[in-house]
Amino acid sequence: MTRVLTINPGSSSLKAALRTPTVSLTAEIDRLGTSEARCTVTDTGMPPVQEPFSGGAADAVAHVAALLACRDIRPQAVAHRVVHGGSLFERSVVITDAVRESLTALVAWAPLHMPGDLASIDAARACWPDAAHIACFDTAFHHALPDDARRLPLPAFADQLGLRRYGFHGLSVRSIVDTVPDLGDAVVAHLGSGCSVTAVHNGQPVHTSMSLTPASGVLSGTRSGDLDPEIPLILLDQPGATTASVRTLLSHHSGLAGIAHGLHDVRDLLAAREHDPAADLALRVFTRDVAMAIAAAATTLPRWDMLVFTGGIGEHAPTVCHEISARLTSLRLPRTLVVPADEAAVMDRETRVLLRAHLDVQHSSPQ
């Protein structure tokens, strides 16, 4: 019985699940890095237990290690969600020192995520040095995008530098493809701390809203999404501005937070909208932006059979999903589903495939 631990760090959370491959233990840390962070632990057959948590991604991994250690559990493999694989990594890979070093070069292409991804990888490799560690990339699913979806409207030299559409939330979309057998031609809206919209035809991506980095596409909790390209340049011209300060502004203080004076969790915005005009405006801008992205994605499909909402907002904020759908009523709105994303299941499966391949190579090698 091979125990695989999946570690899924997000921009504001970290989720861990132990699988055999059925789930036996989960730990989810929500609102990571804030004073409101909580860790919810669920053992099979037991009610969830919640406790306060403080610290970052590496601390979260250490906390998961402690939870396993007190149960005398050591995983044989650890699967890591890694947001960006760039042009180097088109599929899941075993993390070697060389792979770990290559991932460092991608930090600039996902500065909100990759530092936490790498910190959690380093912490996990230290906690479980004898386990196989596997990188599962959010960009891998989108390597199947057609060339007219991948290419950005830039000169050839920029394309040769790797500046193209990579797309994100690929593990989430892959899980929807795997769990909805009659998906057909669908638009999948992954709405969480980060948001993206993907069109899927015959189980393959044909369009996705995020581009080179997870800061692109529709607005998110703290990210601006797509902007007029002159706006960052104007911001850079402001007194005292630097590339780092503008990147921080666009990644940490924009999106819903920028409109609602710092509020960016949709639960808080929904609770505040009746008495806070800024919260109401943020939600209206958000639903408008997402609806437009869904409509645009639908134009890339031969037909539109299904709209799927997933992610933290998609799964748990029906009011927001209803408001998005209401904006689409002038179109032929297809069957609409809310499907929980199970990125950990995809990571677990890909890890087991890699482990089996590794064993097959060992068995076929001459003694």
Q: Give pLDDT tens digits for 272-293.
A: 999 999 999 999 999 999 999 9
Between CA 313 and CA 332 the distance in angstroms is: 24
Looking at the structure, do residues 112 and 198 belong to the same domain, yes or no? no
Q: Give pLDDT tens digits for 70-120.
A: 999 999 999 999 999 999 999 999 999 999 999 999 999 998 899 999 999
Looking at the structure, do residues 205 and 119 belong to the same domain, yes or no? no
- Per the structure, the count of domains in the chain is 2
Longest dimension (CA), the chain: 74
Q: Is residue 162 part of a domain?
A: no
User: Which residues constitute the domain of residue 328?
Assistant: 180-338
Which residues partner with 307 through β-bridges? 187, 336
Looking at the structure, do residues 207 and 322 belong to the same domain, yes or no? yes
Q: Is the dihedral of CA 331, 337, 341, 347 positive or negative?
A: negative
Q: Is residue 62 part of a domain?
A: yes
In the predicted structure, residue 358 carries a pLDDT above the cut 90: no
Which residues partner with 135 through β-bridges? 80, 93
Q: CATH code at 288?
A: 3.30.420.40
Q: Is residue 154 part of a domain?
A: no
What are the phi and psi torsion angles at 231 (to 5°)? -65, -50
In the predicted structure, residue 7 carries a pLDDT above the cut 90: yes
pLDDT of residue 223: 96
Which of 106, 137, 168 is the last residue in one of the domains? Answer: 137
Name residue, tokens 């861990």: 16
Q: Is residue 89 part of a domain?
A: yes
Q: Is residue 204 part of a domain?
A: yes
Looking at the structure, do residues 114 and 201 belong to the same domain, yes or no? no
Q: Which two tokens stand for residue 288?
A: 């408008």
Q: Which of the residues are catalytic?
A: 138
Looking at the structure, do residues 132 and 13 belong to the same domain, yes or no? yes
Q: Is residue 320 part of a domain?
A: yes
Q: Give pLDDT tens digits for 107-166.
A: 999 988 999 999 999 999 999 999 999 999 999 999 999 999 999 999 999 999 999 999
Between CA 134 and CA 348 the distance in angstroms is: 10
Report percent pLDDT > 70 for the chain: 98
Looking at the structure, do residues 321 and 212 belong to the same domain, yes or no? yes
Looking at the structure, do residues 130 and 185 belong to the same domain, yes or no? no
pLDDT of residue 206: 98
Looking at the structure, do residues 122 and 265 belong to the same domain, yes or no? no
Q: Which two tokens stand for residue 147?
A: 């060339």
| Average pLDDT over the chain, rounded to an integer | 94
Strands 204-208 and 186-191: unpaired
Between CA 252 and CA 3 the distance in angstroms is: 36
Using H for helix, E for strand and C for coil, what is the string for 150-193?
A: HCCCCCHHHHHCCCCCCCCCHHHHHHHHHHCCCCCCEEEEEECC
Residues 6+ positions from 159 with CB-CB distance below 8 Å: 151, 152
DSSP class of residue 333 equals: -
Between CA 271 and CA 212 the distance in angstroms is: 34
Strands 132-137 and 195-201: unpaired
In the predicted structure, residue 254 carries a pLDDT above the cut 60: yes
pLDDT of residue 31: 84
Under a CB-based contact definition with an 8 Å cutoff, are residues 309 and 315 in contact?
Answer: yes
Strands 186-191 and 195-201: antiparallel
Looking at the structure, do residues 186 and 331 belong to the same domain, yes or no? yes
Q: Is residue 151 part of a domain?
A: no
Q: Is residue 110 part of a domain?
A: yes
Q: Give pLDDT tens digits for 320-352.
A: 999 999 999 988 889 999 999 999 999 999 999
Q: Which two tokens stand for residue 213?
A: 């980095």
Looking at the structure, do residues 196 and 333 belong to the same domain, yes or no? yes
Between CA 50 and CA 42 the distance in angstroms is: 9
Residues 6+ positions from 270 with CB-CB distance below 8 Å: 283, 317, 319, 320
Between CA 113 and CA 215 the distance in angstroms is: 10
In the predicted structure, residue 365 carries a pLDDT above the cut 90: no
In 211-355, at which residue ranges do the beta strands (DSSP E only) sit?
306-310, 335-338
Looking at the structure, do residues 187 and 282 belong to the same domain, yes or no? yes
Looking at the structure, do residues 132 and 184 belong to the same domain, yes or no? no
Task: Catalogue the long-range contacts made by 149-154 (C-beta closer than 8 Å, 24 or more residues apart).
Answer: 149/205, 149/206, 149/207, 149/208, 149/300, 152/211, 152/212
Smallest Cα–Cα separation from 196: which of 207, 181, 180? Answer: 207
Q: Which two tokens stand for residue 151?
A: 């290419």
The band of 251, judged by pLDDT with boundaries at 50, 70 and 90, is very high
